[in-house]
Each structure stands twice: as C-alpha cells, then as structure tokens.
C-alpha cells in the first residue's frame, strides 16, 4: 500500500517538531498538522513569553534595591500594555523564522484540526491524508476546576492576553505556573493570594526547595494559603468573590488564575478509530519507545504525561523518529532530568530529593548551606540562598542537587551533566571554583 506520507505528525509543539526535523534527515516524506499556532505551547503561550515576563519583573525587583547600589530616582513606571504587545511581536517574529526553517527542511505543514479515521488515515477539515507511521504530539491544556463560577477564572493561556494588570490576583495551585505567575505579578505591584491543596507549594520538589521558595515569596508580600482550594466564584460589583475551602471565608479579587495542573489533549481525536488506548487520566498509553497500543502509531510530549517539560518533549521527538526510521530502537533515559521554577527566588533541581533518596538508599548524606548572596548583602532585602547535595553514603555518589537563589537554573543545568555521569561528593570537593560566584558554594559544602 502506498501512503501520502512516510510519517505524519499531529501537533507542531516542541515534541512534534523535533520528530519532524529528525525524520527528514532520513530522506522521508514528512507532514505535520497544527490546529492553532505553529510551535505549540512553549513558544506561543509557555516558556518563552513567560521568560520575557520574568525579565520584565526583574527590573522592578532590581529597582527596589537600586538605591543600595548608589542609584537615585529610578523610574518606577511600568507599561504592561506596551510590554505585552512587544512580547507578542517578538513571538510572531520567532514563529515566522521557525516556520521558514522547518519549511526549508522539506516538512509539509498543514493547518487544521486532525482526527483519526483509522490507524493510517487522518482527517483534517474535509481532507483525508494517509501515512505509514503517525505520531501523536497534541500536548496538554490547563485543567479548569469544576466549581460554580469557574467561567470567571482564567488559565495561564489568558495571562499572556491580559490587557491590563489586575490590582488583586488569586492563584489556585502552587505548582510551577502558580508560583511563577505569583512571583512575576507581585513584582509588578499586583496584590497576590496564592493557595494550594497542600501545606507547601511546589509538590514533588525537595522539601528545602519548597520551604525556601515559599518563605521567599511570602517575604515579598505574597499571601499563601496552604491546604486551601477554591469552592465557588461569584461576580460582584466589587470584583470576583472567591469562596475558600475550610471555613468558607471569601476574598475579593479582580482576576482568578487556575493553575492546578494540565491534562493531555486527547479528547475528540478519534483515538478509538485507530485502536490507540489512553490511561485513566487521558494520557496516550505508550511503552518505553513511545509506541502506542497500535503498532504504527507513536505518542510523545505532554500528551503522554511523562515529564511535561520542553526539553523532554524535544528529546522524545528525536528519539521516536530514530526508533521509527533508524535500525535501532532508542529508549530515552528519564533519570536526572533537571528542572527550574523561574520565580524570585529562583529554584532548580536535578536528581533525587532528600526524601526520595532516603526511600531508596540505606545511607543518605545531605550537604547543605544557606547564606545571603553577595548581591543581597548590600541591600536591606533578606533573600536567602540554599544549596543542597544529596549523596549516597556508601558510594559517595551524588544523587541530587537542589538550589534556591540567584541563577539556580543555570547552575543546576551544568551540575546535571556531572550528576548524570555519576560524579561523587569527593569530585565536587576536588574541583576549584570561580570566584566570586554563587555556584562556587556547591564545591565547598561541608
């Protein structure tokens, strides 16, 4: 049987594009379909626009302490409308260059919503295309709580479309998105109330990261409500009235952000027509080679709910194209995937948390420090830096590294290479640092 494509990819996000780019290197006929903006979440409404907002917010934070460094009369006027417009222009420019580069590789790009007709056929509008192999890379979407008045709340997607900053913002969910937006919005002067089901923010991270970031946010005036969720939203003439769980107290705000996680975008994709099964939570069921329950169909990225991060999505895309078209199957190693929370204070981690390590190893040693960074010592701000190495006591191998503080993401990124390679605490001690930096403190931990 002949097909229109050797490989057809549904979804042009980080995962789908990486798969396309790798597949064309084998001289294959590759097509990709996108129902929204090419490039997916990361470049259009995720990591990239978010990082621009982090940079904008940093000016506000630096301005607050500039007088400690001899600066007078720092201008304090921030024009969100002008700024967010520039962000969208920058995104459009990046998207254009992204599209041109992809087109140049010979990948055919189609616009529209794809649904499966059968295991080799996909329908896009009224057109049917056939492919030998198909990759599902449809990503995820924010979960909206099912509570009365939920229609008045927004998700991270709409945060990038705000025409003006709210005066009062409530954020439900203290994970990556809730913490990052509470940090950015607080820097712009927005009154932020953050809440989470759990006692501490950032579930899944090492305990010292959770408490370190939480106390850093609270010192900056963010109000945190632990073991709390939203039960009801009502629109009043004073704003949005949010009823909290527990004692059913209410708070009134201008904007409510739901940031309680994301779910795979697998509904209405016709997966049942193709024999592709999903898990209870809607993720496409895959094996370690990203194969679905149908032989010729694969799934990668956020829609598989493995580790929903851009670099992982990209790596899965590359690996699956190699598995499909190279002679050997490529199994991705999910150990030591670093990640960061771009809040202020910033936090980053790689490898095992102290709690995880203690579950797995008989003897675990933690080497930890907490100090005031050089930059902060000239100011009256009380930001604290925390660094921690989790070490297997019997082999001296470093199992995890965790940091809260300036440049945590970049520092942990570099340590990730060494830790993945099996570096020991002795190797850290034997390495000479760069002075004066924050990172050098990882090399002198007691």
* Active-site amino acid positions: 435
Of positions 13, 149, 166, 178, contacts ligand NAD by CB under 6 A: 178
CB of 168 to ligand NAD, least distance (A): 18
Q: Is 136 in the site for ligand NAD (CB under 6 A)?
A: no
- Who contacts 292 (Cβ-Cβ below 8 Å, separation ≥6)? 136, 276, 277, 284, 285, 286, 298, 299
Q: Which residue is nearest to ligand NAD (CB)?
A: 175
Q: Pick one of ligand FAD, ligand NAD, none as the site partner of residue 292 (Cβ within 5 to 8 A by kind).
A: none
Contact partner, 35, from ligand FAD, ligand NAD, none, Cβ < 5-8 Å per class: ligand FAD
Indicate which of ligand NAD, ligand FAD, none lies near residue 364 (CB less than 5 to 8 Å, by partner kind): none
Q: How far is the CB of 103 from ligand FAD (least distance, A)?
A: 17
> How far is the CA of 6 from the CAs of 131, 132, 250, 271, 295, in angstroms?
6, 5, 57, 20, 14
Using the rule CB under 6 A, give the single segment among 58-66, 100-108, 117-125, 173-181 that binds ligand NAD: 173-181
Residue with tokens 């420019």: 93
* Coil/strand/helix, residue 306: coil
Q: Which does 16 bind (CB under 5 to 8 A by kind): ligand FAD, ligand NAD, none?
A: ligand FAD
Binding partner of residue 42 among ligand FAD, ligand NAD, none, CB under 5 to 8 Å per kind?
ligand FAD
Kindly state whether residue 174 participates in binding ligand NAD, applying the rule CB under 6 A: yes
- Catalog residues that contact ligand FAD under the rule CB under 6 A: 10-16, 33-36, 40-42, 46-47, 50, 113-114, 137-139, 156, 177, 265, 269, 301-302, 308-311, 313
372 is in an annotated binding site: no
Residue position matching structure tokens 């709390």: 228
The yes or no reply on residue 309 touching ligand NAD (CB under 6 A) is yes
Whichever of 4 and 198 has its CB closer to ligand NAD, that residue is 198
Q: How many CB atoms lie within 10 A of CB 351?
A: 24
Beta carbon nearer to ligand FAD, 40 or 166: 40
Choice between 203 and 395, CB closer to ligand NAD: 203
178 binds, among ligand FAD, ligand NAD, none (CB under 5 to 8 A by kind): ligand NAD
Contact by Cβ (8 Å): 169, 158: no
**What whole-number distance in Å separates Cα of residue 65 and Cα of residue 144?**
38
Is-contact 43 98, C-beta < 8 A?
yes
Contact range with ligand NAD by CB under 6 A, out of 216-224, 255-263, 277-285, 289-297? 255-263
User: How many residues are given for the chain?
Assistant: 446
* DSSP code of residue 441: G
Distances (CA, A) of 253 to 169, 236, 259: 6, 10, 16
Give the span between the Cα atoms of 300 and 292, in whole angstroms.
10
What residues contact 64, with CB distance under 8 A and at least 6 apart? 381
User: Under 8 Å CB-to-CB from 116, ≥6 apart: which residues?
Assistant: 122, 123, 269, 270, 271, 273, 274, 276
267: which 2 tokens?
């509904």
Of the candidate spans 61-69, 272-280, 340-348, 384-392, the one that interacts with ligand NAD by CB under 6 A turns out to be 340-348
Q: Which stretch binds ligand NAD (CB under 6 A): 77-85, 100-108, 161-169, 257-265?
A: 257-265
The burial class, CB within 10 Å (0-12 / 13-18 / 19+), for 365 is: middle
203 forms part of the interface with ligand NAD (CB under 6 A): yes
- The single residue listed with the structure tokens 């709340």 is 153
40 known ligand binder = no
Provide the 8-state DSSP code for 172.
E
Least distance between ligand FAD and beta carbon 34 (Å): 5
Binding-site residues sit at 51, 173-180, 261, 302
Binding-site residues for FAD sit at 51, 302
What does the binding site for ligand NAD look like in residue numbers (CB under 6 A)? 145, 172-178, 180, 195-198, 203, 229, 259-262, 308-309, 339-342
Binding-site residues for NAD(+) sit at 173-180, 261
């Amino acid at each position: 049987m002949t097909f229109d494509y050797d490989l057809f990819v549904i979804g042009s996000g980080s995962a789908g594009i990486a798969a396309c780019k790798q597949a064309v290197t084998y001289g294959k006929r590759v097509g990709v379909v996108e129902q929204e903006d090419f490039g997916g979440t990361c470049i259009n409404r995720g990591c990239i626009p978010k990082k621009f907002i982090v940079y904008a917010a940093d000016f506000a934070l630096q301005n607050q302490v500039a007088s400690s460094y001899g600066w007078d009369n720092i201008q304090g006027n921030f024009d969100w409308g002008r700024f967010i417009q520039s962000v969208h222009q920058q995104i459009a420019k990046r998207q254009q260059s992204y599209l041109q580069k992809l087109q140049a590789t010979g990948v055919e790009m189609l616009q529209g919503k794809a649904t499966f007709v059968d295991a080799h056929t996909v329908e896009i509008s009224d057109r049917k295309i056939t492919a030998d192999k198909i990759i599902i890379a449809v990503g995820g979407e924010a979960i909206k709580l099912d509570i009365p008045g939920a229609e008045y709340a927004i998700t991270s997607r709409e945060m990038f479309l705000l025409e003006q900053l709210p005066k009062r913002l409530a954020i439900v969910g203290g994970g990556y998105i809730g913490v990052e937006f509470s940090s950015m919005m607080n820097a712009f002067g927005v009154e932020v109330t953050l809440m989470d089901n759990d006692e501490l923010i950032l579930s899944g991270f090492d305990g010292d990261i959770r408490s370190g970031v939480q106390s850093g946010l609270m010192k900056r005036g963010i109000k945190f409500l632990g073991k709390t969720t939203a039960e009801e939203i009502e629109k009043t003439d004073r704003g949005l009235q949010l009823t909290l769980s527990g004692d059913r107290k209410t708070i009134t705000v201008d904007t409510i952000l739901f940031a309680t996680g994301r779910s795979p975008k697998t509904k209405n994709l016709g997966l049942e027509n193709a024999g592709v099964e999903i898990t209870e939570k809607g993720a496409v069921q895959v094996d370690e080679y990203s194969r679905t329950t149908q032989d010729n169909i694969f799934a990668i990225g956020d829609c598989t709910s493995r580790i929903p991060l851009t670099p992982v999505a990209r790596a899965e895309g590359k690996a699956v194209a190699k598995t499909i078209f190279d002679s050997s199957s490529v199994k991705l190693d999910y150990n030591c995937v670093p990640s960061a929370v771009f809040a202020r204070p910033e936090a980053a981690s790689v490898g095992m948390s102290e709690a995880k390590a203690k579950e797995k190893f008989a003897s675990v040693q933690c080497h930890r420090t907490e100090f005031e960074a050089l930059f902060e010592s000239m100011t009256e701000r009380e930001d604290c830096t925390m660094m921690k190495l989790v070490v297997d006591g019997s082999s001296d191998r470093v199992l995890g590294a965790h940091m809260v503080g300036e440049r945590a993401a970049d520092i942990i990124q570099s340590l990730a290479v060494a830790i993945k390679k099996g570096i020991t605490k002795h190797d850290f001690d034997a390495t000479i640092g760069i002075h004066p930096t924050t990172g050098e403190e990882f090399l002198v931990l007691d």
